[in-house]
Structure 1
Amino acid sequence: MNKIILVLSIFILVVACGQKNNSKKKNTKDYSEIKDTLTAHISKINEKGKIVGFSVAMVNSTGILYNEGFGLADSTTQKPYSIQTVQPIASISKTLIGLSLFKAQEMGKLNLDEPINKYLPFKVSNPNFPETLITIRQLAIHTSSITDSDSFWESDYILINKDHKKGTGIPDYFNEPKTKISLADFLKSLLTEKGALNNGKSYSVNKPSAKFDYSNVGSNLCALVIESATGIPYQTFTTKYILEPLQMNSSSWTAKYIESKNRSTLYATNEQIMADYTTVGFPASGLITSSTDLGKYLSELIKGYSGNGSLLSKESYNEIFKKQLIKSQLPEGVDANTGIFMDYSKRGIGYNGYDPGVMAYMYFNPESLIGKIVLINTDTDFDEEVRPTLDKIYNILGEYETKLK
């Protein structure tokens, strides 16, 4: 009798396991079909050739759900743009300043509501309001009254090479190759009274904390505060506390540390190469990464938003994602808001970035907790169809958001 019961039990278990395995196979197959359909839709956009090359990714708190490259990383060699291809991500780089601020605060090295002059190696003060202190938080939410003057834009971009192929796109504000000035000296030159690059327009007429005024200079200054407070170079700090823990092994602030075979060429148009360049103010725009690595980073942000982040405490993440601006600080008619280097927009929570030859989106939906990334290697200023094409790609990802979940 016991043998019969045992045989029946084994039979039932085998059948159940078989059904379970069949169910898994069915789910896997369905999921694969969804991804194939998504790839086909994006491939049709790619065939129009407006963007030379790009990659897209969708993630949740457990990791990457979808990740594909399209087009070319180099049109001359016909090298495909893959999920390992790296390129600058422009202003999305600023989000690392936010995480670094809170890591430094958790280490007891600074406090967001302290004045920046407590840490900087030179004094920064709006000459229109010399008695009003500028705080770290104001830098982080773009209310410091520090502005991006023409002197900044005309000095930030540095050509890497002296000689270029005929027809290469070289914007007028690109500077000839030269010994790169340090971030501290660059900002000192822009922001101090007798600084060589201070043209009298480095500060706004608004009092610190009065108005939101997006500032790359203020963002870079925030990174310098972190460097000065911790005694660790910003590149080293972010690598140690963000890139390495997340195993973002293909990411760097310097192109020379990344395998050249994985780097994308940047393009002014789908027919014109953009000259290679770097920026002095690298913390605000200089991170070089792939959709694979950035997907790991966005997954961590989603976990942090959900209270389960690994890089920072729950309290720190809560403050990063807390809306920081009040209505009077926002431009008239604007209902968007910002956390600590974290934007709230119609695309969700995250950031976007633009630089010559680069456009990037990185956002997540706070309801579905699905994140979407698009990186393109083609400028949006010289062909009016590039930006709408990018938006179309991003919107298609949104259509598949619930299907992949």
Structure 2
Amino acid sequence: MRYRKSLAVTAAVVAALAAGHAAAAVPIQVQSAHARSAIDDVVEQRMKDSGIVGLGAAIIVDKKIVWVKGYGFADKENAIAFTPDTVMNTGSISKTFTGAALMRAVQEGKLSLDEDINTYLPFKVVNPHAPDQPITLRHLATHTSGITDRPEVYDRTYHYGGDTPEALDGFLRSYFERNGKHYSTDNFLKTRPGEYHEYSNIAAGLAGYIVELAVGEKLNTYGRRHIFDPLQMGNSGWSLSEIPPAKHARLYVAEGPGIPIQLYEVTTYPDGGVRTSVSDLARFFTALLNDGQYEGARILDKRSTDEMLRFQFTSANKPGNVNLQGEDSVNSGIFWATKYDTTRIGHNGSDPGIRTVMLADPDKRVGVVLFTNTSLDDRGTERYFEIFEALWTQAEKLKSEGKLAARR
């Protein structure tokens, strides 16, 4: 179900629930795992209704993490609680880490957003439907490259249990080289770069690969040096091998009591491989909302952060299938998305056994991070976004209370 559409169904319910708890507002400070808050009843009831096994959340107000909490189980079979430090894969929120790494490489003068990507690659990527039109990193990062994900190929990039993922380099060569195993003219849209907006995971994988070539490091080591370590994100990594098993959540499908599924790796890890916790991700998100820094630690300069977050599409320069205003309007930053018809910014993630949200308002005054280790059906997804809306309502309330307190 579309995220926007679910709001119309649930907004009245969420508003009533939030109003019912207004007298027990959370003070602007991080809550302990055992403290009751204004939204606990909403979260716990919606988890029960949806089959969510475990859930973690954080609220950000005026560039400060003001509330974090976990609910349910990271491992139901062994009664291990889901906490703000529980680690799980984040799905497409990983693209924002790739975006930050990309902007770091641009900041260092190692890449340009508007150079033909073939300048950086050891093999050629050419759209056979527009062979004379260069594809740039900006195209890749705004999902306007013309590269498309063929499901019969992309679906095989998930590797469960003990399977070793195919090397990113080998997979990309097989997809883009004319004699490659997975090459087809159907890997590309029949449009020129920049003309059409279509979300592409494989294009994100290609962008991450280009970053690795430019900086001479894998994303996990480059990201650790420039993102994870400066922000003290000790529960984060780009592969299962970087996370102690005891810290990683089990993943579930919401059927009956919750059916566990095997953990997995993805070949195109720049598009969905990052594993982190709610507490860690809230630090990263806050840094992006705060001109590239969090509590004195800087991951990007202000100029690079502004470029990553700014709306790239304008009335004079936008794909033909994009509306900038009104219903179904969208815009894009550098691996940065809009939701709710451009009224919220950040990214979502959805993969087997997970659903994640990391969204703020365009003014960067409030933000919400929300994780669950459970795949959901349509009804469960509605309940999940009811939880998100309750968190958002609470964030807005805390923002208002903070303004009032500052005036006193």
The reply to whether TM is greater than 0.5 is yes
Report the Cα offset of residue 236 of structure 1: 1.1
Report the Cα offset of residue 332 of structure 1: 5.8
**Distance of 2:217 and 2:73 partners within structure 1:** 38
Report the Cα offset of residue 203 of structure 1: 0.7
**Distance of 2:93 and 2:322 partners within structure 1:** 25
Report the Cα offset of residue 306 of structure 1: 9.9
> Does the CA-based 8 Å contact 2:28-2:66 persist in structure 1?
no
Matched ranges for 1:2-401 at <5 A = 36-48=37-49, 50-161=51-162, 177=163, 179-269=164-254, 270-304=257-291, 310-326=298-314, 328-331=318-321, 334-346=328-340, 348-367=344-363, 369-380=365-376, 383-401=377-395
Which is greater in Rg? 1
CA 309–294 in structure 1, closer or farther in 2 if over 3 Å, else same = same
**Distance of 1:391 and 1:322 partners within structure 2:** 25
SS of equivalent to 1:36: coil
> Could you state the TM-score of these two structures normalised by the residue count of structure 1?
0.83
> Does the CA-based 8 Å contact 1:151-1:199 persist in structure 2?
no
> Does the CA-based 8 Å contact 2:49-2:380 persist in structure 1?
no
Structure 2, gaps ≥5 residues long: 1-24, 400-408
**Distance of 1:331 and 1:97 partners within structure 2:** 25
Report the Cα offset of residue 152 of structure 1: 2.9
Deviates more, 1:40-49 or 1:217-226: 40-49
Aligned amino acid, residue 329 of structure 1 = P
CA 111–73 in structure 1, closer or farther in 2 if over 3 Å, else same = same
Q: Which residue of 2 aligns with 1:15?
A: none
Report the Cα offset of residue 57 of structure 1: 0.6
**Distance of 1:214 and 1:337 partners within structure 2:** 12
Report the Cα offset of residue 29 of structure 1: 8.6
Report the Cα offset of residue 56 of structure 1: 0.8
**CA deviation digits over 1:101-122, x for unaligned, max 9?**
1111111111111110111111
**Distance of 1:366 and 1:111 partners within structure 2:** 26
**Distance of 2:120 and 2:82 partners within structure 1:** 42
Count of matched residue positions in the alignment of Structure 1 and Structure 2: 361
Q: Which residue of 1 aligns with 2:5?
A: none
**CA deviation digits over 1:139-174, x for unaligned, max 9?**
11111111101243232111223xxxxxxxxxxxxx
> Does the CA-based 8 Å contact 1:35-1:66 persist in structure 2?
no
> Could you state the TM-score of these two structures normalised by the residue count of structure 2?
0.83
SS of equivalent to 1:194: coil
Aligned amino acid, residue 273 of structure 1 = P
**Distance of 1:368 and 1:37 partners within structure 2:** 23
**Distance of 2:334 and 2:36 partners within structure 1:** 34
Report the Cα offset of residue 126 of structure 1: 0.5
After TM superposition, the runs of 4+ consecutive aligned structure 1 residues lying more than 6 A away are: 32-35, 305-309
Aligned amino acid, residue 389 of structure 2 = N
